[in-house]
Amino acid sequence: MSVRWIDFHGQPAMALRLPHGDRAVVLQHGAQLVSWCSADGVEHLYVSPRAMLDGQSAVRGGVPVCFPQFNQRGPLLKHGFARHLPWRLRAVRDDAVTLGLAHGPVTAAFWPHAFDAQLTVQLTPNAVRASLRAENKGDVPWPFTTALHTYLRMADVRQAELTGLEGASQWDAVLDVHGVSQGAPRFGAEFDRVYQAPGGPLTLSEAGQPGRLAISQSASCPQTVVWNPGATLCGRLADLPADGWQQMLCIEAGCIDEAVVLPPAAVWEGWQQLAWTA
C-alpha cells in the first residue's frame, strides 16, 4: 500500500492506495476517513459539498469519530471533542495507518481525564475497517460513549434496501417510541433509530444500482444507529445542501446506551467494517 500526504480541500490528509486501485483518504483533522473507493472506482462515503473544512469545525460526512460522548448524552460538545481536533500520525503498516490523540492542555479544557485514543484505518481489497482504541492513562476510572458515525453515499436513499435489522430491539428517536424492528426500514422522511446491533453484518443496496455493501461491527459496539435527516431537517442544516438527504445514509457502530467505565490502564477497542461486492 502506498501512503502520501495530500491537500484535501485545504486540509492535510493521507491518501492510501492499494496496487489494484482501492483507495482511501484520512484527514488529520479528527482522524476522519472522508473517502473510500473500491477497486472498481466506486466512492462509498458521502461528504457534503458544504462541509466546513476549516480545521476546527466538525466535518459533515465520511466517518466522524464521536468520542468521548455520543450526541448530547452528557455535558460535553455534541459528539465529543475528538472530531474537532488534529490527530497525529503514529504508524504506517502495509495495509493501514494509525493516528492518535492524547490528553493534554487542549483536551483538558473539555474533559479532565487522562486518555489516549487511536484510530486505525485498514484498507484491503474491496473493504475498509475503522478501528477505535481508547486507553485510560490516569489513576481513576472514567466513563465514555462513542460511535463511528459513518455517512454512506447513495444515489437516492429512497431506493435503499437495508437488511439484517429485522427483529432487533429499537428506539425510534423521532417518535420517542421503543419497539422491535418489523421488516426493512424505508427512508424518505426524517429517520433516526438506535438498534441493538445484530450478530451478523447488515447488507445495504439500492434498487436499480449494482453492488452491495456488507456492514459489520465489533461486539464492543452493541448499538447500530441509522440516521437520515429527511428534507425538513436537512433544510435547517447549514452544511448540507437541500437535496443532501437523498444522497446519504448514516449507519453507525456505537456504544451509546450505557457508558463504558474504563479503569486505570484498561483499554477499549471497537470497529466497523465496510465490504463491497460489485
Q: Which of 84, 135, 149, 206 is catalytic?
A: 149
**Shortest CA distance to 260 belongs to which of 215, 223, 224?**
223
Q: Which of 44, 113, 135, 252 is catalytic?
A: 252
Q: Is 166 a catalytic residue?
A: no
B/e letters for 21-36, b = 16+ CB within 10 Å, e = fewer, are ebbbbbbbbbbbbbbb
Query: Per-residue DSSP letters for 238-272?
Result: TTS-TTGGGGEEEEEEEEEEEEEEEPTT-EEEEEE
- Residue 96, number of CB atoms within 10 A of its CB: 18
Q: Which residues contact 208 (CB under 8 A, 6 or more apart)?
A: 155, 159
Q: Is 135 a catalytic residue?
A: no
Q: Write out the catalytic residue numbers.
A: 149, 252
